[in-house]
Structure 1
Amino acid sequence: MSIEAQTRNPFKRLHCKLFGHKYTVLRSYQTNKKEYECSHCKKQFTENDYGELETLTPKLRRINEVMEKFYIFKNTRRQSA
C-alpha cells in the first residue's frame, strides 16, 4: 500500500468538496511561484501563469524547479557583470 493511499481519507475529501480546500504553502520559490497542499486531503497545487491554482504534477514541479534555477543563474550573472 502506498503512502498516498494511506493519507487519502474519503471523509476528508468530502470535507474539501463541501467546504473547499484549506491551503498551506508547501514550497515558495524566488520566482514568486508557490506550491500549496491541502491540509485535509493532502492534494498538492501550484500556480499557473495566470495565477490560478492547478493540480501539481511531476512535470509542473520540474518546470518550477528549472525556472528557479534559471532565475538564480540570471540574477547571479547580472550582479557580477
Structure 2
Amino acid sequence: MICTSRMFGQRVYTFSALAESVASYTARAAEKLRAQQSLCQVMRVGIQTGMHGLPEERYSNGAVLNLPYPPTILECL
C-alpha cells in the first residue's frame, strides 16, 4: 500500500484549490508506484477538516475508485 497524505497550513475554501492538491498528491503516489515497479488497482481519496474546530464545522468524506485495469499513465489517475 502506498499512502501520500498531507495537511494544509490553512483552511481550503475552493474546490479548485482542493483538486490541485489532490492532483499533486496523486502524482507523488504515482512516483512511488513507479519506483517500486508496482501497479495500482484501487485508489482512495479522503478529506477532513481539522479536529480542533467547532463540532458543527467538522467534515469528513472519502471516495474509493476501483480501477478496471492498472493504469500506466498518470492522466488515468
Smaller-chain TM-score bracket: 0.3 to 0.5
Structure with more helix by fraction? 1
Provide the TM-score with structure 1 as the length reference: 0.36
Determine which structure has greater relative contact order: mean sequence separation of CA pairs < 8 Å that are 6+ residues apart, divided by chain length: 2
The structure having more radius of gyration, on CA atoms, is 1
Provide the TM-score with structure 2 as the length reference: 0.37
